[in-house]
Structure 1
């Protein structure tokens, strides 16, 4: 009866918790979770290792020969726990567990029986390490410690005499486990796992208790932007020369940001570099120091190398595309040592992935005819995982792009497709399909001449953000539309 009541109570607790989960879902299912607190409940089969040989030896030492030995080594176990997830790979969990009751019955000569029953429950604290398999699924391992109470009751019948019928002991020992989890929604995660608890059974024997459980987790974590956000408007970047601070000087500065682990000068930045080249052509005595910078992801040595490569690529571009004398240009990489924003946020990391051009000031600006400010229109469209279907929320914005192209027939457009961290072959194929899908949409719905559109796939080589969160991976699944101006 005791065992039945415990199982009923545990199931009732689980059902009550799941009901709360269900009530919470409609309000939060569309949010992205990056880190934070969570609650979990799990239950399943628990199994004990009964020290059969030790028990038989103890009875024999007391003058009893065991003729039959039966044991009940399985029961229902459950746990209720809370945790904090630091990122997609590491979390810490603690909670209460009850692994149930286990018993044995030994029949002896002289005629009698020895009956023993073990109960085991306590508290645990674990570190959980996760290995993502897909955007929603992960393998995980755990290791930790538990403080638990073992209660053992003995009953003797017939010739078997029990002097001490009850023992209790509280001890601390280790535990470990492994499992698989799947994110059913942004708030609810399903888990299956196996755990082993090392135990002291209160009468001097050591053994193991195993729990094989099914779990549900509800997350309270930090919310990022909603999944169904309004479509972003096209972004306009104006590239223009820096205005003189006074009539006697004309100074230039340049700042260009980079995608993750990338050192190329992208199309969207070439207008800015063109303005810089115009300034250098006018003032052949001026010199430029190109400074390269990174965020703080990766080793310092790798970041220093990457920042130097970014600066050198900018120098090479000015020499190759605009004929600037290399002797007037210098490149210095500073790695992650000079951040301009907080590296704890994705926006801050992106701001720190940059080059700066520090340019000598020139006197006498008379006669300088800089290029007029020109607009490079860049619109980003996000996609679902492995999908190349254009979301209807972007249709109006694509109509705006098409109208702009119609009004300016001299312009062409490049459509760059990108993915998150899929395998290389699939990433290249999906990114190309996404770019081509947007091109097809502009042709079929707005009558844009296909010869004015170029679709290119870049796979996962040009990331805007890191692929460690669902929102970050979403931002990397995109097509960027860049309007190209004739030279």
Structure 2
């Protein structure tokens, strides 16, 4: 009986002594994940955008075509879709139960603003055949003025973790976003009779590569040793280039699945 008691006590003591090591080993290691969510760009109101784009149109109409072009337009309506659909993937390493680091790729989706109206007048443009012969065409149709913003790039971040028992974590993150941001401005003509007769009157694209900051807070459910479900809010600061195409903050709420 005494031997059995001693054996049980020895087993209990060894379990207690080995628990911290097992507990630490449970947290340490590589993982990777994929995520998707919803984003919102700090673009301002549609009314503000209408005013800015209307002013741009007044500047752009005199620039259309070759000398001899004379066009006038009337604005009929506009639409702003600033709800973006971001997605991403990341590879991480958790050093212990408090600290992790991640690198990843993020595509923040697309913001699209369009203004439509009618356009008429004389359009003179170079012939595609040789680029030097001028062609004159009478326009009487509609126009679409669009502004498209996209941003994607590599991320690197450090995470501070707060375990809540064995299955739940809270975390904060801070890192850098190596962003490639593109702003595309386009003015298209659409023939009223033949809807397939569509061509660009003006087309400009501005690319900016910048290093920006981003941060986030979130919570994770460690379903088992192989899978974790994470919900997170992130903010990407000053995305874009203020001198080239403007800067805006982008807010993202996402759900990710982590594989360990």
Q: TM-score range by the shorter chain?
A: 0.5 to 0.7
Aligned pairs for 1:221-236 (under 5 A) are none
Q: What is the aligned counterpart of 2:98 among 79, 82, 89?
A: 89
Q: What is the aligned counterpart of 1:80 among 83, 89, 94?
A: 89
Residues 344-387 of structure 1, C-alpha deviations (whole Å, 9 max, x = no match):
xxxxxxxxxxxxxxxxxxxxxxxxxxxxxxxxxxxxxxxxxxxx
CA contact (8 A) 1:118 1:201 kept: no
1:195 aligns to 2:234 (yes or no): yes
Aligned pairs for 1:90-169 (under 5 A) are 90-107=99-116, 112-158=143-189, 163-169=202-208
Residues 437-461 of structure 1, C-alpha deviations (whole Å, 9 max, x = no match):
xxxxxxxxxxxxxxxxxxxxxxxxx
The corresponding residue for 2:254 is 213
Q: Which runs of 5+ in 2 are unaligned?
A: 1-24, 60-73, 120-141, 191-199
For the residues of structure 1 that align with 2:107 and 2:143, how far apart are their CA atoms? 32
SS at match of 2:180: strand
Q: What is the aligned counterpart of 1:63 among 58, 66, 76?
A: 58
Structure 1 residue 190 displacement after superposition: 1.1
TM-score, normalised by the number of residues in structure 1:
0.35
The corresponding residue for 1:184 is 223
For the residues of structure 1 that align with 2:49 and 2:183, how far apart are their CA atoms? 15
Structure 1 residue 194 displacement after superposition: 1.3
The corresponding residue for 1:367 is none
Larger Rg: 1
The corresponding residue for 2:27 is 34
Structure 1 residue 210 displacement after superposition: 2.3
For the residues of structure 2 that align with 1:155 and 1:127, how far apart are their CA atoms? 39
For the residues of structure 2 that align with 1:66 and 1:48, how far apart are their CA atoms? 25
Residues 66-88 of structure 1, C-alpha deviations (whole Å, 9 max, x = no match):
66331112243211111111111
For the residues of structure 2 that align with 1:66 and 1:177, how far apart are their CA atoms? 41
The corresponding residue for 2:43 is 50
CA contact (8 A) 1:71 1:103 kept: yes
Bigger relative contact order (CA 8 A; separation at least 6): 2
CA contact (8 A) 1:33 1:187 kept: no
For the residues of structure 1 that align with 2:163 and 2:250, how far apart are their CA atoms? 28
SS at match of 1:63: helix
Taking a change above 3 Å as real, the CA distance of residues 184 and 70 of structure 1, as seen in their structure-2 partners, is same
Q: Which runs of 5+ in 1 are unaligned?
A: 1-31, 220-487
More helix by share: 1
Structure 1 residue 60 displacement after superposition: 1.1
CA contact (8 A) 2:179 2:209 kept: yes
Aligned pairs for 1:203-282 (under 5 A) are 203-219=244-260
The size of the alignment, in residue pairs, is 188
For the residues of structure 2 that align with 1:162 and 1:58, how far apart are their CA atoms? 16
SS at match of 1:165: strand
Aligned pairs for 1:351-366 (under 5 A) are none
Structure 1 residue 125 displacement after superposition: 0.6
For the residues of structure 2 that align with 1:113 and 1:35, how far apart are their CA atoms? 54
CA contact (8 A) 2:186 2:202 kept: no
The corresponding residue for 1:379 is none
Structure 1 residue 127 displacement after superposition: 1.1
TM-score, normalised by the number of residues in structure 2:
0.63
CA contact (8 A) 1:151 1:201 kept: no
CA contact (8 A) 2:184 2:205 kept: yes
More strand by share: 2
CA contact (8 A) 1:148 1:170 kept: yes
CA contact (8 A) 2:112 2:148 kept: yes
Structure 1 residue 163 displacement after superposition: 4.3
